[in-house]
């Protein structure tokens, strides 16, 4: 999202005209200011007030560009007793919100700031806000913070009543002569105070009752996990080519050829190419191509086969229209391994021609030509194991990439793959971090030196700059360069989204994450990323849906049950959270989740025991997770102690601190901002 833009969109029919929603301006007590992206939260607050009989007025968002607020909004603010600001990143950037708060301040109305995320507040807005009246709902969620909001509004109403009694203007009135308007207003305030006291009970009910109207609003107005864009004619999935070799021992080669073709086509900005993970879901499955097209949301499918014997190759390829299974183009190639790049270019060129696209000069400008065939073959095997993401597989990948480079030290993709292998080993704690990242940097630099136009090389360098250097500007530049080179690269989109999340740019994070899912709709990790981005902005139910989608795609994967457990925990569903934590397949993540769930259930002894086990087994590599447990348990001193240890360990987890809901209890502590400064993250 561009700087200074708060994501305002056209209002729905309910906000088409001032006064068309909730109470008419002038008959309300509370004015609610918000950014349009936070409409659901504003509705939740207003519904609780109205349920108890209090009037509220939600600002419309149909103001003409260039006008800060209409006459109706000015009148509504002037008539209010208290202003509630739903404070978020988008609200902080909204000119509408700024002018509304400024107007309220000029009228000396109490402004209660209901903070739902931890975005930095610009001085232009903070100037008008009383920080003693800020309520933090970012850690607990909106519903749990409602009772405190009710108390704050109640105090604001009482304060306004006292001020009016002590400082009213106009001529003096005899003490025994009642003022009908004042009497009416006093009765109204009395009823209001009684009504507000009842809201606490209503708010508590919100913790356990999922109101139908709110669920419907959220479903209508917020991004759904299952939103599917219309199928574009300029879309394609490259299925893994079948290994037809006599020994059935060329799976890695067939996979590598498919991925090379996918990457070639991903260079075309006008073509939506499905990512490797999603396309490869159909490997070895005799599934109808029309069904595959529907699942991947593409109009075309490229499939084929490979028969390899020594240096000889026979490659067949065919382009199919997914809707009806009709063939648009097919061809067979009898070549040698030396000609593999030429064959790939020919196939990509025929696809481009059939789809009536423009190659835009990318066909020959980003390809290494003089690679040794065996070096290429070994690098394909390295990539094959790297994609499997396990400890032993990483070791095998490193070995194959090294052997590839022994054959041909000038082969840039092998250097990029080697760098990614080292970084992945370090990120998972499989090898010493400093040494692994030193090797990763050397390999990435070599890849960039040999081929500055290789997207994988820029991605590899970006990982080092982000995960180890904590050099946010350089990492962002590397990731975006990769995206420029391959606009359809799902991994590049994922990396750019992850970078935005570290910096607290929530709207951009979610938007880029959604685009990555469009490119790779069956990749579990992308839904996991979406889930954590949604947790960061307190959209916990949507986050839960995202994590359930992850488990649907990968029921046995590690980390996924923990993630679902966190989403449930933050909604107050503690028993369900514990069950999810207990189902986690990876011991590390299970030991991390259990002390959280036990603590929420009040089972202190079991929480302590689980935390002790986590420290005993993983203190050297997972200090950040230990800090998170202490933060969630309200043990700030211990949390900061372990955060410092994580910093010294160069634990990449610390870079996620702004998005981490477990850490929200630390935000008000001066040490929190100091720690962000150490990480060079925005406060």
Over the chain (683 residues), the average pLDDT of each successive run of 10 is 31 29 51 82 76 70 48 80 85 82 80 79 70 66 75 73 50 37 45 46 39 35 47 87 83 84 82 85 81 89 87 87 86 84 83 68 45 85 85 92 95 96 89 93 97 95 94 94 88 91 91 90 91 93 96 90 96 96 92 96 96 94 94 96 94 91 93 95 88
Sign of the alpha-carbon torsion through 289, 290, 296, 302: positive
| DSSP character string of 321-370 | ETTT--EEEEEEEEEEGGGHHHHHHHHHHHHHHHTT---TT-TTTS---S
Of the candidates 260, 273, 256, the one whose C-alpha atom is nearest the C-alpha of residue 357 is 273
* 403's tokens: 């052997």
In sequence order, which residues have a C-beta less than 8 Å from that of residue 219 and are 6 or more positions away?
Answer: none
* 301's tokens: 């499918």
In sequence order, which residues have a C-beta less than 8 Å from that of residue 537 and are 6 or more positions away?
Answer: 88, 116, 117, 506, 510
Q: Give the separation between CA 354 and CA 485, rounded to whole angstroms.
A: 23
List the domain boundaries for the chain: 13-163+183-221, 226-367, 619-683
Cβ pair 607, 599 in contact under 8 A: yes
pLDDT at 187: 47
Q: Do the strands 312-321 and 327-336 form a parallel or antiparallel pair, or are they unpaired? A: antiparallel
pLDDT at 611: 97
pLDDT at 199: 43
Q: Could you tell me which CATH number the domain at 226-367 has?
A: 3.40.50.10070
In sequence order, which residues have a C-beta less than 8 Å from that of residue 476 and are 6 or more positions away?
Answer: 462, 496, 499
pLDDT at 538: 92
pLDDT at 161: 61
Of the candidates 495, 510, 419, the one whose C-alpha atom is nearest the C-alpha of residue 7 is 510
In sequence order, which residues have a C-beta less than 8 Å from that of residue 415 and are 6 or more positions away?
Answer: 401, 405, 443, 444, 446, 447, 450, 457
**Chain centroid, CA 198 distance in Å:** 37
Number of H helices, E strands in the chain: 29, 11
Of the candidates 322, 317, 323, the one whose C-alpha atom is nearest the C-alpha of residue 351 is 317
Q: Give the separation between CA 683 and CA 680, rounded to whole angstroms.
A: 9
Q: Do domains 13-163+183-221 and 226-367 have the same CATH topology?
A: yes
Q: In sequence order, what are the beta bridge partners of 305?
A: 242, 316
pLDDT at 533: 93
Q: Does the model's pTM come out above 0.85? A: no
pLDDT at 107: 76
Residue for token pair 């082969």 = 411
Architecture category of domain 13-163+183-221 in CATH = 3-Layer(aba) Sandwich (3.40)
In sequence order, which residues have a C-beta less than 8 Å from that of residue 230 and are 6 or more positions away?
Answer: none
* 632's tokens: 């969630």
Cβ pair 662, 628 in contact under 8 A: yes
Q: Give the separation between CA 24 and CA 31, rounded to whole angstroms.
A: 11
The Cβ of residue 291 has, within 10 Å, a number of other Cβ atoms equal to 11
Of the candidates 141, 139, 134, the one whose C-alpha atom is nearest the C-alpha of residue 110 is 134
pLDDT at 229: 59
* 497's tokens: 């989204």
Helix (H) / strand (E) containing 570: helix 560-570
Q: Give the separation between CA 291 and CA 324, rounded to whole angstroms.
A: 10
Cβ pair 513, 497 in contact under 8 A: yes
């Amino acid at each position: 999202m561009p700087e200074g833009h708060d994501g305002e969109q056209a209002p729905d029919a309910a906000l088409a005209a001032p006064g068309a929603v909730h109470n008419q301006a002038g008959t309300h007590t509370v004015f609610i200011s918000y950014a349009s992206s936070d409409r659901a939260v504003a509705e939740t607050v207003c519904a609780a007030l109205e349920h108890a009989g209090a009037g509220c007025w939600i600002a419309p968002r149909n103001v003409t560009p260039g006008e800060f607020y209409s006459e109706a909004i000015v009148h509504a603010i002037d008539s209010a007793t208290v202003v509630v600001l739903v404070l978020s990143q988008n609200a902080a950037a909204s000119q509408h919100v700024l002018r509304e708060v400024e107007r309220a301040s000029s009228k000396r109305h109490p402004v209660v700031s209901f903070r739902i995320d931890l975005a930095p507040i610009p001085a232009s807005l903070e100037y008008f806000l009383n920080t003693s009246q800020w309520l933090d709902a970012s850690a607990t969620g909106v519903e749990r913070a409602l009772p405190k909001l009710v108390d704050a509004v109640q105090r604001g109403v009482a304060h306004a009543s006292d001020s009016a009694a002590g400082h009213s203007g106009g001529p003096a009135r005899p003490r025994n002569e009642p003022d009908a308007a004042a009497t009416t207003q006093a009765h109204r305030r009395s009823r209001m105070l009684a009504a507000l006291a009842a809201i606490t009970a209503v708010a508590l009910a919100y913790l356990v009752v999922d109101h139908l109207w709110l669920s419907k609003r959220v479903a209508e107005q917020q991004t759904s996990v299952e939103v599917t864009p219309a199928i574009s004619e300029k879309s394609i999935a490259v299925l893994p080519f079948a290994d037809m070799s006599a020994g059935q021992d060329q799976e890695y080669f067939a996979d590598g050829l498919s991925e090379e073709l996918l990457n070639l086509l991903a260079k075309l900005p006008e073509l939506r190419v499905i990512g490797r993970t999603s396309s490869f879901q159909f490997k070895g499955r005799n599934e109808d191509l029309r069904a595959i097209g529907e699942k991947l949301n593409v109009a075309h499918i490229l499939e084929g086969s490979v028969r390899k014997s020594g240096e000889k190759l026979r490659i067949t390829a065919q382009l199919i229209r997914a809707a009806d299974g009709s063939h648009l183009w097919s061809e067979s190639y009898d070549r040698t391994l030396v000609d593999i790049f030429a064959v790939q270019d020919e196939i990509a060129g025929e696809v481009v021609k059939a789809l009536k696209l423009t190659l835009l000069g990318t066909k020959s400008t980003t390809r290494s030509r003089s690679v040794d065939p065996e070096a290429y073959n070994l690098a394909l095997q390295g990539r094959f194991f790297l994609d499997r993401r396990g400890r032993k597989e990483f070791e095998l990948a490193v070995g194959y990439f090294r052997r590839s480079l022994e054959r041909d030290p000038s082969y840039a993709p092998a250097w990029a793959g080697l760098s990614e292998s080292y970084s992945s080993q370090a990120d998972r704690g499989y090898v010493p971090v400093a040494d692994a990242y030193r090797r990763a940097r050397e390999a990435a630099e070599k890849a960039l030196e040999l081929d500055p136009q290789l997207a994988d090389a820029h991605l590899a360098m970006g990982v080092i700059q982000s995960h180890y250097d904590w050099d946010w500007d350089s990492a962002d530049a590397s990731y975006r360069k990769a995206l420029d080179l391959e606009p359809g690269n799902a991994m590049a989109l994922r990396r750019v989204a992850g970078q935005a999340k570290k910096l607290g740019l929530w709207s951009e994070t979610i938007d880029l994450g959604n685009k990555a899912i469009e490119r790779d709709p069956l990749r579990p990790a992308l839904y996991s990323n979406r889930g954590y981005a949604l947790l960061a902005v307190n959209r916990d139910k949507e986050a839960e849906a995202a994590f359930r989608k992850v488990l649907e795609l990968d029921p046995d994967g590690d980390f996924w049950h923990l993630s679902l457990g966190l989403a449930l925990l933050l909604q107050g569903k503690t028993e369900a959270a514990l069950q999810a934590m207990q189902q986690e397949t990876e011991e590390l993540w299970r030991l991390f989740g259990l002390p959280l769930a036990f603590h929420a259930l009040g089972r202190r002894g079991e929480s302590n025991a689980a935390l002790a086990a986590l420290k005993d087994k993983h203190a050297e590599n997972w200090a950040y997770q230990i800090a998170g447990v202490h933060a969630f348990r309200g043990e700030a001193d211990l949390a900061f102690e372990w955060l410092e240890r994580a910093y010294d360990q160069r634990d990449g987890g610390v870079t996620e601190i702004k998005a981490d809901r477990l850490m929200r209890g630390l935000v008000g502590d001066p040490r929190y901002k100091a720690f962000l400064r150490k990480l060079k993250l925005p406060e």
